[in-house]
Amino acid sequence: AERALAALDITREDFQHTNGNVQGYAKPDTRRVAVSTLAVNPAKTLFHEIAHCLLHSDQARMEDAADLTRDLAEVEAE
């Protein structure tokens, strides 16, 4: 996974989220991802967060960025 992250220019950071319902998160604007040590399926969560970075990192160029709801972004990442 680390080679894939490096090839995609995505950095993994320590999980810092305090919401117990979150298994991972992405910061597409800075191409950073984190996965909780308590994630049920850490590999799936990591690839889901990578998808967010790949799909949503350049919203300035996205024609429909203003219409992209959180729900739709989650479906796209799946």
Q: Domains in the chain, please, with CATH?
A: 2-77 (1.10.10.2910)
Positions in the chain whose pLDDT score sits under 70: 57-78
Report pLDDT for 55. 83
Q: Dig out the tokens for 33 from the structure.
A: 């991802």
Report pLDDT for 43. 95
> Rounded to two decimals, what is the model's pTM?
0.77
CA distance 36 to 75: 20
Q: Residue 24: beta bridge partners?
A: 35
Residue 40 DSSP symbol: S
